[in-house]
Amino acid sequence: MKILSITLLCLLTNYAFAQTDTSQSLDEANVNATRAKANPSNTLIGKKEIDANNTGRDLPYLLNRTPSTVITSDAGNGFGYTGIRIRGVDATRINVTVNGVPLNDAESHGIYWVDLPDFASGTGNIQVQRGVGTSTNGNAAFGASINLKTLEQSTKSYTNFATSFGYITPEKSGFATFPKNRFSQKYNINFGTGKINNWTVDGRLSMINSDGYVLRSKADLKSYYLQATYSKDNSLFKLIHFSGKEITGQAWNGVPEYILKGDANTLPNRVYNDFNYKNQTDNYKQDYYQAFYTKKLKKVIVNTALFYTKGYGYYEEYKKDQPLSLYSIFVDSATTNSDLIRRRWLDNNYYGAMTNAQFKNLTVGMHASKYAGKNYGEVIWVRNAGNSEINQKYYEGKSTKNEASVFAKYYNKINSRLNYFVDLQYRVIDYKLKGNDDNYGTLVDYKHHLSYNFFNPKAGLNYELNKFNKLNIYYGISHREPVRSDIINASKTSVPKPEMMQDAELGWNYHKSDFNFNTNLYYMYYKNQLVNDGSVNDVGSYNRVNVPVSYRAGVEFELNYKINDKFIIIANLTLSQNKIKNYHEYLDYYDSDGNWMENKLYEKYPSVNIALSPAIIGYAQLRFTPIKNLQIGLSTKYISRQYLDNTQNKLQSIDASIVVDLHVNYTIKTKMFKQIDISFLANNITNATYTTNGYTYANFSTGERQYYNNYYPNALTNFLMQLRFTL
């Protein structure tokens, strides 16, 4: 009823306030300061492509065609918890902003797309910068950055509705049988009032439900977006509020290898989930508030923004045979363990301000923010309750993180063919943490006060050889502080050092008529990169350690070729080496009775591949337009072998994969609707059994090194269809 009421309101608004003014505002200036100019190491995805491929899956799926990209899904079908890696760089090292406002979690540096369901429906364009890129706000761009720009206000009123449906085919012969059909659906409405006395209001409501591919990985997602804009003469004032709420079944543990592949007695089971408790869910809500003011003066454009992000939620889990001492529960001297249900909470507040001034050749800016977070756990049920109370807290930690940065970007054109830029950023961080936390079943106390000062210079040179050929040279440095888990699991003397990366890029672009070709060489050299090596630190916690030397080096090719009016080829290929020098592996040693003895060095490796960093990533799509408004695309994605840890052991790896998808988009214009867009996706049409993500751990027992692999399988052939109606 609520959605119906809003729909009727939008329809009335459409006819009452239709406008003819199509002029655009100063919207673009809000994000220009944190974006790079076009070059072979970045990719811009426009609104038209977003709409054609947005069927409700999380936003990383829209980036699948960009070079050097691997996307992952815990549930196996793109709904719920998803991830992205670019050049092997995981999400904690990718800087993400919305309208220039930082989106990464200030402590974990992670980005959780599940908190932004259907955000693509309100996104105007996306720029992906590979490498260090230009100076931006928030966490360091330590290998890539993703800049999202929300829709510009529309001076014309509009309403459009979209609904998507998805279906996953049942497992065929040769796999364990799960007869239940698995569906997904998305419903959303976008609306705008058009310009009314210099004001425009735009909004979106979205609802997504998915059964997932993996058992008990359902997703119940809701979000909305509201934007009010005032523009007059050379001024723009914009208020934005958006929110996302998610309830997802947990599929975090993946599928053990022996279950995924089966054995002599058991058929392979690709949808296994070891969580059987019916309320084993993740529950989180995040609210975002942004305010922008842009003023164009005679020789400068000034942008100022305030933002606030509120996150609050928990995940609930059933735990068997838990040591009651961890929860400060006493029953009697003979009862030391019990089954229980617990919730682990996050309560976060993140707010700040940023401003920049854009002159003809110079942009200067600053950013300041404060993060206040609370992490705590509580027990809501115990089989042997003893002296416990309902919702009894068993750990609690608080932290504050203050950050400020300033930057200056200078562009200069030496002549008609040659120009350069210099980009200097200085970043200051003050971080306080105090409390305790549950670390692998042990309560760890911590208290830290850390300060960091980082200088991040970048420079680039662009040379136009002729009207068809351009060269681009880039060099940049980025620093990154340890994340919360690195710090709280360490003593004051064993906190890891900050990481540093130097990035050098050399690009060539050839563009002639309907043929565009990019080549980009990159070398990303790391000092003190943090990696898992299996060791424990001086307080007995597993930790990540600084490795002195590691690097990522490769070449990226990108092609767009319009053969004729009916056929277009889009393709990219990445060839890379991703290495750690002098890597040491530590293992836990167990005796013949399974008792832990010690943690010690097992082997030294002179040079190994970095985990989850494939040497080859390729994508190709053939687009066919047989008639006007109908487009058919056949695409394929290849990812070479990925190692699950840093030992380069083939037995602990993900096999190479080739996945083929079919895309169909058709547009109809009628008297009743301005436009009807039909999108159809048949994913994995060859029914490939593949995975793009996993993890492993190892120990030494029964006289040899043992390993245990877990994977996150992707769905077999599955379908998604979207209908979008524009009034």
The answer to whether the beta carbons of residues 271 and 218 sit under 8 Å apart is no
The answer to whether the beta carbons of residues 438 and 326 sit under 8 Å apart is yes
Would strands 704-713 and 691-701 be described as parallel, antiparallel, or unpaired? antiparallel
| Rounded CA separation 708/263 (Å) | 15
Please calculate the CA angle 282-272-697 and round it to the nearest 5 degrees. Answer: 80
- Residue 467: partners with Cβ closer than 8 Å, 6 or more residues away: none
For 324-353, write each residue's pLDDT tens digit.
999 999 999 899 999 999 999 999 999 999
| Rounded CA separation 275/278 (Å) | 8
- SS3 call for 594: coil
The answer to whether the beta carbons of residues 403 and 428 sit under 8 Å apart is yes
Task: Confirm whether pTM is higher than 0.85.
Answer: yes
pLDDT beneath 50: ranges in the chain: 1-25
| Rounded CA separation 581/251 (Å) | 34
- Residue 652: partners with Cβ closer than 8 Å, 6 or more residues away: 643, 644, 645, 696, 698, 707, 709
| Rounded CA separation 178/215 (Å) | 9
The answer to whether the beta carbons of residues 4 and 11 sit under 8 Å apart is no
Token pair, residue 367, equals 């950013």
| Structural domains in the chain (count) | 1
- Residue 415: partners with Cβ closer than 8 Å, 6 or more residues away: none
- Residue 104: partners with Cβ closer than 8 Å, 6 or more residues away: 92, 94, 95, 96, 110, 111, 138, 139
Question: Concatenated DSSP letters for 197-264?
Answer: TTEEEEEEEEEEEE--SSTT--EEEEEEEEEEEEEETTEEEEEEEEEEEEEEE--TT-EEHHHHS--S
**Distance linking the first and last C-alpha atoms of the chain:** 20
Burial label for 144, CB within 10 Å (0-12, 13-18, 19+), is buried
* CA-based nearest residue to 635, from 624, 649, 643, 646: 624
Q: What are phi and psi of 408, to 5 degrees?
A: -140, 130
Q: The sheet that has 143-150: what strands, in order across it? A: 42-45, 123-131, 143-150, 94-98, 101-102
Strand partners, 399: 373, 433
Question: Concatenated DSSP letters for 627-696?
Answer: STTEEEEEEEEEE--EESSTT--TTSEE--EEEEEEEEEEEE--SS-SEEEEEEEEESTT----EEEEEE
User: pLDDT value at position 4?
Assistant: 37
Q: What are phi and psi of 437, to 5 degrees?
A: -155, 160
For 409-462, write each residue's pLDDT tens digit.
999 999 999 999 999 999 999 999 999 998 878 888 999 999 999 999 999 999
Length of the chain: 727
The mean pLDDT value of the chain amounts to: 92
Other beta carbons within 10 angstroms of residue 455's beta carbon come to 10
Distances from the Cα of 719 to the Cα of 90, 427, 438, angstroms:
28, 46, 41
Residue 164: CATH number of its domain? 2.40.170.20
User: pLDDT value at position 175?
Assistant: 63
* CA-based nearest residue to 38, from 141, 145, 127: 127
- SS3 call for 276: coil
Residue range(s) defining the domain that contains residue 525: 2-726
Task: Write out 334-349 in H/E/C secondary structure.
Answer: CECEEEEEEEEEEEEE
Task: Write out 115-181 in H/E/C secondary structure.
Answer: HCCCHHHHEEEEEEEEECCCCCCCCCCCEEEEEEEECCCCCCCEEEEEEEEEEECCCCCCCCCCCCC
Strand partners, 329: none
Question: Concatenated DSSP letters for 41-53?
Answer: TEEEE-HHHHHHH
- Output the CA torsion sign for 90, 71, 118, 376: negative
- Residue 8: partners with Cβ closer than 8 Å, 6 or more residues away: none
Please calculate the CA angle 646-689-82 and round it to the nearest 5 degrees. Answer: 60
User: pLDDT value at position 120?
Assistant: 94
Radius of gyration of the chain (CA): 26
Q: Running DSSP on this structure, what letter comes out for residue 539?
A: T
Give the chain's largest Cα–Cα span.
Answer: 84
Distances from the Cα of 265 to the Cα of 259, 448, 707, angstroms:
11, 52, 21
H or E element: which one contains 484? helix 484-488
- Residue 720: partners with Cβ closer than 8 Å, 6 or more residues away: 55, 56, 57, 164, 165, 166, 184, 679, 680, 681, 683
| Rounded CA separation 528/546 (Å) | 4
Q: What are phi and psi of 31, to 5 degrees?
A: -115, -10
| Rounded CA separation 70/60 (Å) | 9
For 30-80, write each residue's pLDDT tens digit.
667 777 777 888 999 999 999 989 999 999 999 999 999 999 999 999 999
The answer to whether the beta carbons of residues 144 and 94 sit under 8 Å apart is yes
| Rounded CA separation 191/186 (Å) | 17
- For 102-120, letters b (16+ CB in 10 Å) and e give bbbbbbbbbbbbbbbbbbb
- Output the CA torsion sign for 59, 62, 68, 73: positive
- SS3 call for 585: strand
| Rounded CA separation 224/234 (Å) | 29
| Rounded CA separation 647/642 (Å) | 12
User: pLDDT value at position 426?
Assistant: 97
